[in-house]
Amino acid sequence: MGALLWLLIPVLAGLVAALWSSWAVRNRRTGDVAELAGYARFRAAMEKQHAAAAAPTVPERVSDPV
């Protein structure tokens, strides 16, 4: 009976590993659509920030040394 209990441990470990591997390779539904939308938002934010930094500013008065 003790040998059967020791055999039960690797069998249960194998079942747990099979369940985990089937969960790990599942088909995720989000796909590239969510990633591409996030990248588009990132690009829009960077363009907005870059446009604000490149906005014309009032030049300081510089005296002409001549």
pLDDT per position as a tens digit, 3-56: 898 999 999 999 999 999 999 988 776 667 778 888 999 999 998 876 666 656
More confident position, 60 or 16: 16
pTM strictly above 0.75: no
CA-derived radius of gyration, the chain: 31
Which residue's entry shows tokens 């003790």?
2
Distance of alpha carbon 7 from the chain centroid: 41
At 36 the pLDDT is 87
Q: Where would I find the H helices in the chain?
A: 2-24, 31-53
